[in-house]
Amino acid sequence: MSGMTPRENFWRAVNHQEPERVPIFWGGTNSSIVPAHYNALCAALGVRPAVRPVGDFGTVNLQPELKARFHSDVELLILGSPPRRRLEGGVVQDGMWGFRMKEVGGYRTFPDTLAPLRRARNVEDVENHPIWPDPDGAVYCADQRAIAQKLHGTGKIVLGEASYAGAPFFIYPWLRGVDQWMMDPYANPGLYHHLATKITNLSEAILERWLSDVGEYLDVLCFYDDIAMQTGPMVSLDHYRRWILPYERRLVDKARTLTKAKFSIHCCGSCYDLLPGFIEVGYDILNPVQTRAKDMEASRLKKDYGERLCFYGGLDIQRLLPFGTPDEVRQGVKDLIRTLGPGGGFLFATSHNIEPDTPPENIVAMFDAAYELGRYPVGLS
Amino acid sequence: MFDDLVAALSRGNREKSLSEVNRLLAQGVDPFAIIEQGLMEGMELVGQRFETGEYFLPELLLAGRVIEACTAILKPLLPVDGTRAKASIVLGTVAGDIHDLGKNIVANTLESAGYRVVDVGVDVPAERFLEAVREEKAPVLCLSALLTVTMVEMKKVIDALRGDPELKGVKVLVGGAPLDEEHARKIGADAYGRDARHALLKVRELAV
């Protein structure tokens, strides 16, 4: 029977024990819906859309009504951020690191051509960048402790979203351009180390303050690290170990001392080959588990890494959810729960934010199936 | 004669590659031969290593950077009448999508093979693609997209192209993460490029 709170359920699942039911992670920043489709979903459900729904990563922070409709077990706590500035041509400048974004086709994008450090040649050019976060700034932590306490009091699973202080290798390419981020270790290693270290140090200082306030209330702390494509990792495991892992490990090691939360790493695409590296950094949970990508079949992940990682995500948004029928979606949910659910270690969510070509009836079918079929025991009997 | 250039390019070494190009030119080697037997061979090797999982994006990008630097020297030396230059290929990322890493790698690869590449950029509306194809008399148009929603845009471009009698016979190659052979056929494309090297093979078939 449903005697467990969502939090108790989660802690069993994340510790690889069978909970009462599979926790539903609808409403984490990358298990939400894109802004371009949000109003259509609200209209289909007869729910009033929130006034300013869009969060830091350009996806929707869902209102309670929408979360309740789909049995969500999570509450989101997002690090505070300084105000953005509107520049010309629809470009928006981030207030924390000074990178630039532009709305294209309903998505927030970060074009390489707008990267402010694109032309930097050396350490001095990096230092001359005018906008860096001030770790002592009150904006990051304002009111956060009281909010965290309140969210914790709901008994739901509290997801700490460290936002732009938990994504050093989002910030690097946004400041410098994705292509340069990949080439710098070889073409300009001095600049690479300087910039990566600077981002890590500042992120660490902000995290330290924030977690001192809210760390005790968090169940999950989310970090970001997009380094894989549909067909495989963008970089070799060797590149990851040398040029990314050491910086991330410092952040994670520091954060560990300030919270008992489990650590989630967001990496889209085919990151199977990078999983040993993620485990080495100290991540406990993988998100968004893009099961259509190469080598990312649920059964393979469960068999090879099911004892060491929890899977947060997995329901295919590239084909099944937009193009399947409600019955096919229901079957997909069933298969996923039967594959990833046994023994715990599975947190149900989509394999990324729901896209605009997704019929609302498929979304309803998906969550209702997850709620209904997620009750343990879930294995094939 | 081209071994050192091929090796330097495949390791992404820009300085060494440039000095090799200059050395070959000083020896009086035909710039077109340097493109075909040096740059193209080098990029072919890089593409093979990417396919077999030995190379990843940084290695492809570094090689692309070398190609750009070398073609900047070699292009002005090619005959202006175009008799030996290969066809123009128009490529870009469709409207609503700004992902360009894959597209840029395809552009570098086609360029290394001696094609004149006209990159119309990202978030490109259908009309701009057609305009470029007309202006360049390009026999092949390459479309890129990363988002499932922008696959719809690809179809719009292809429909617009097919509806223009002046552009009859122009072939379309599509590529990008959410696509596959079947979907490419469904939206009316002539070919699907799995990766840059595969895209080049397909362009070769289409551009005859």
Mutation site, B50, B56, B60, B198, interface A, largest A CB count within 10 A: B56
CA distance, residue A36 to nearest chain B CA (Å): 11
Of A179, A187, A233, which has the smallest distance from its Cβ to B56's Cβ? A233
DSSP β-bridge partners for residue A262: A220
Do A186 and B95 make contact, defined as CB atoms within 8 angstroms?
no
Mutation site, A179, A227, A295, A317, interface B, largest B CB count within 10 A: A179
Q: Provide the pLDDT for residue B31.
A: 86
CA distance, residue B124 to nearest chain A CA (Å): 11
Determine, yes or no, domain membership for A246.
Answer: yes
Confidence bin at B64 (pLDDT 50/70/90): confident
Q: By the CB < 8 Å criterion, does A132 face chain B?
A: no
Report the CATH number that the domain containing residue A191 is assigned in CATH. Answer: 3.20.20.210
What average pLDDT does the structure give for chain A?
94
Lowest-confidence region among A52-56, A259-263, B61-65, B199-203: A52-56
Residue A119 predicted with pLDDT over 50:
yes
More confident residue, A2 or B21: B21
Q: Provide the pLDDT for residue B175.
A: 93
pLDDT digits (tens, 9 = 90+) for A29-53: 788 998 888 999 999 999 998 877 7
Residue A1 predicted with pLDDT over 60:
no
Q: By the CB < 8 Å criterion, does A89 face chain B?
A: no
Q: Considering only CA atoms, which of A334, A335, A224 is closest in space to residue A281? A: A224
- Residue ranges and CATH numbers for the domains of chain B are 3-77 (1.10.1240.10), 88-206 (3.40.50.280)
Residues 6+ apart with CB under 8 A from A327: A365
Q: By the CB < 8 Å criterion, does A185 face chain B?
A: yes
Share of chain A above pLDDT 90, in %: 84
Closest residue in chain A to residue B56, using alpha carbons only: A235
Residue B179 predicted with pLDDT over 90:
no
Please state, in angstroms and as integers, the Cα–Cα distance from residue B73 to each residue in B6, B15, B70, B183, following that order. Answer: 16, 13, 5, 40
Of A109, A185, A317, which has the smallest distance from its Cβ to B98's Cβ? A109
Q: By the CB < 8 Å criterion, does A111 face chain B?
A: yes
Confidence bin at B85 (pLDDT 50/70/90): low
Residues 6+ apart with CB under 8 A from A78: A29, A55, A56, A61, A161, A163
**Terminal-residue alpha carbon distance, chain B:** 29
Residue A71 predicted with pLDDT over 90:
yes
Mean pLDDT of all residues in A136-154 = 94
Q: Provide the pLDDT for residue A380.
A: 61
Residues from chain A that touch B101, judged by Cβ atoms under 8 A, are 178-179
CA distance, residue B195 to nearest chain A CA (Å): 10
Q: Which of residues 275-334 of A touch B (CB under 8 A)?
A: 317-318, 322
DSSP for A7-53 reads HHHHHHHHTTS--SB--B--SSTTSSB-HHHHHHHHHHHT-PPPSS-
Using alpha carbons only, how large is chain A's radius of gyration in Å? 20
Determine, yes or no, domain membership for A66.
Answer: yes
CA distance, residue A58 to nearest chain B CA (Å): 15
| Residue-range definition of the domain harbouring residue A229 | 6-373
Determine, yes or no, domain membership for A230.
Answer: yes
Q: Provide the pLDDT for residue B98.
A: 78
Phi, psi of A159 (to 5 degrees): -95, 115
pLDDT digits (tens, 9 = 90+) for A157-204: 999 999 999 999 999 999 999 999 999 999 999 999 999 999 999 999
Confidence bin at A263 (pLDDT 50/70/90): very high
Do B150 and A105 make contact, defined as CB atoms within 8 angstroms?
yes
Lowest-confidence region among A74-83, B95-104, B180-189: B95-104
Of B56, B100, B195, which has the smallest distance from its Cβ to A234's Cβ? B56
Whole-angstrom distance, CA of residue B105 vs CA of residue B111 = 10
Determine, yes or no, domain membership for A379.
Answer: no
- Give, as one character, the DSSP assignment of residue B90: E
More confident residue, A294 or A28: A294
Determine, yes or no, domain membership for A10.
Answer: yes
Closest residue in chain A to residue B105, using alpha carbons only: A179
Whole-angstrom distance, CA of residue A267 vs CA of residue A312 = 11
Phi, psi of A158 (to 5 degrees): -95, 120
pLDDT digits (tens, 9 = 90+) for A200-235: 999 999 999 999 999 999 999 999 989 999 889 999
Mutation site, B14, B60, B61, interface A, largest A CB count within 10 A: B61
What's the complex ipTM? Answer: 0.88
Q: By the CB < 8 Å criterion, does A112 face chain B?
A: yes
Do A229 and B100 make contact, defined as CB atoms within 8 angstroms?
no
Closest residue in chain B to residue A105, using alpha carbons only: B96
Closest residue in chain B to residue A231, using alpha carbons only: B177
A258: left (phi over 0), alpha (psi -120 to 50) or beta: alpha
CA distance, residue A219 to nearest chain B CA (Å): 32
Mutation site, B57, B94, B124, interface A, largest A CB count within 10 A: B57
Q: By the CB < 8 Å criterion, does A355 face chain B?
A: yes
Do B53 and A232 make contact, defined as CB atoms within 8 angstroms?
yes
Whole-angstrom distance, CA of residue A355 vs CA of residue B60 = 30
Determine, yes or no, domain membership for A138.
Answer: yes
Domain tally, chain A: 1
Do A183 and B65 make contact, defined as CB atoms within 8 angstroms?
yes
Residue B156 predicted with pLDDT over 70:
yes
Do B58 and A232 make contact, defined as CB atoms within 8 angstroms?
no
- Give, as one character, the DSSP assignment of residue B130: H
Determine, yes or no, domain membership for A70.
Answer: yes
Strands (E), A39-177: 74-78, 85-86, 91-93, 100-104, 107-109, 157-161
Confidence bin at A317 (pLDDT 50/70/90): very high
Q: Provide the pLDDT for residue B208.
A: 76
Confidence bin at B97 (pLDDT 50/70/90): confident
Question: Taking CB atoms and an 8 Å cut-off, how many pairs form between chains A and B?
Answer: 70
Q: Provide the pLDDT for residue B80.
A: 58
Residues from chain A that touch B177, judged by Cβ atoms under 8 A, are 229-231, 269
Determine, yes or no, domain membership for A378.
Answer: no
**Terminal-residue alpha carbon distance, chain A:** 20
Confidence bin at B79 (pLDDT 50/70/90): low
Closest residue in chain B to residue A292, using alpha carbons only: B178
Mutation site, A182, A244, A318, A353, interface B, largest B CB count within 10 A: A182
